[in-house]
Amino acid sequence: MIYLKIYKIRQFFLTPQYNLPKKDGDHVSLQPIIKLTPVIRFDTTAALRQHLAPLRSGQSIGLVPTMGALHEGHRSLIEAARRAGDLVVASVFVNPAQFNNPDDLARYPRSLDDDYQMLEAAGCDVVLAPSVTEVYPEPPTLRLNFGELETAMEGAFRPGHFNGVGIVVAKLLNIVQPHRAYFGQKDLQQVAVVRKLISDFSFPVELVRCSTVREADGLAMSSRNRNLTPEERALAPALHEALILAQDLLAEGQSTAQAKAAVTGFFSSNPNFRLEYVEIANADTLQPVGEVLAPGQTAICLAVYLGKVRLIDNVVF
Ligand code: AMP
């Protein structure tokens, strides 16, 4: 009983990777406590900077920017940073500047208390969860232009989105000054935009792209999945199925036009879906391609409305 109690407390406060319990039948034997890691929370950038200043020498810092409503996809980014040995700093900030639709911003799920718990359990060291006025003391007037990167897909259908992403990521990179920044392949075009931002501004940071984490039925994990009705959730694996269909058709030698037409037909047969785009593109430049590229270079990307919820997904092969 006492073991169980201590174990639970330990699970809450300790970094699992440092101190994994050894299971021996029903008995849980406790390992020596190596490191206490209650996640340290900040809501101001000044306090976060002050906290990080003495920790910089001798330790790399990994930044995981998020908009909260955390799930296993976010956890995988935290874990990647931990595996790299970084002091892990996550941010939780629903960035109004990247929403081109006010309803979408209002509906965006928020669960800060749960997020803190999940970050702590994942072994995150520090969280920045600032207010909008903390991040934007005045409305930004800066305009970023990502050129070709924002003429297609998310850039075309969400005007101003990547300007907002670029501004907030630049702010976070300046505030945290991490050695590495972790982003998910789930938002592939965002990865390309951040890569360009880092290059254009010479931010001294390494960008790490992490694989998409999926539910058992193939649905890419997303905070927006929480807004799906049970009926819509049951239909949602169709996005991944459509991507696999297109990938299979390309592997059989069909053209990119045929593969895209097949995806369009796939969604048009079900009135619950509204396909916004499907594109076959270079996975780094996001420019449309007419044929399959070298392994790991081709991406199939799509955006679909399922009821009121807009979902995006991609496969890279
Ligand atoms: P978000 O909170 O949606 O802005 O996402 C924060 C970070 O988590 C971004 O870099 C996303 O690409 C990444 N992410 C979101 N969903 C997933 C997922 N299913 N697998 C891996 N990374 C993800």
Domains of the chain, first to last: 37-210 (3.40.50.620), 223-316 (3.30.1300.10)
β-bridge mates for residue 22, sequence order: 29
Greatest Cα pair distance, the chain, in angstroms, is 64
CB of 210 sitting under 6 A from ligand 1: yes
> What average pLDDT does this structure show over 170-194?
98
CB of 240 sitting under 6 A from ligand 1: no
Q: What whole-number percentage of the chain has pLDDT above 70?
A: 88
How far apart are alpha carbons 154 and 25 in whole angstroms? 51
pLDDT grade, residue 58 (50/70/90)? confident
Residue among 273, 272, 250 at smallest CA distance from 261: 250
pLDDT at site 17? 35
pLDDT at site 229? 98
Mutate to test the pocket of ligand 1, among 64, 66, 158, 214 (most ligand atoms within 8 A of CB): 66
Q: Which of 1-10, 57-66, 240-249 has the lowest mean pLDDT?
A: 1-10
d(CA 4, ligand 1 centre) in Å: 34
pLDDT at site 28? 35
- Beta-carbon contacts of 128 under 8 Å, excluding residues fewer than 6 positions away, are 42, 43, 45, 48, 89, 90, 91, 92, 93, 172, 175, 176
pLDDT at site 1? 36
User: Of all atoms in ligand 1, which is nearest to the CA of residue 187?
Assistant: 12
Please tell me the pTM assigned to this model: 0.89
Residue 238 in 3-state DSSP? Answer: helix
Percent composition of the chain: helix, strand, coil (DSSP 3-state, to 5): 45, 20, 35
Mean pLDDT (the chain, rounded): 90
pLDDT grade, residue 36 (50/70/90)? low
Please report, to the nearest 10 degrees, the dihedral formed by the alpha carbons of residues 141, 94, 206, 53 taken in order. Answer: 90
224 contacts 311 by C-beta, under 8 angstroms: yes
User: Of all atoms in ligand 1, which is nearest to the CA of residue 212?
Assistant: 20
Judge whether residue 40 has pLDDT over 50: yes
Question: Which residue, by CA, sits nearest to atom 13 of ligand 1?
Answer: 184
Question: Which residue, by CA, sits nearest to atom 14 of ligand 1?
Answer: 184
How far apart are alpha carbons 168 and 136 in whole angstroms? 9
Q: What is the pLDDT of residues 277-294, one digit of tens each?
A: 999 999 999 999 999 999
Judge whether residue 185 has pLDDT over 60: yes
Q: What whole-number percentage of the chain has pLDDT above 90?
A: 87
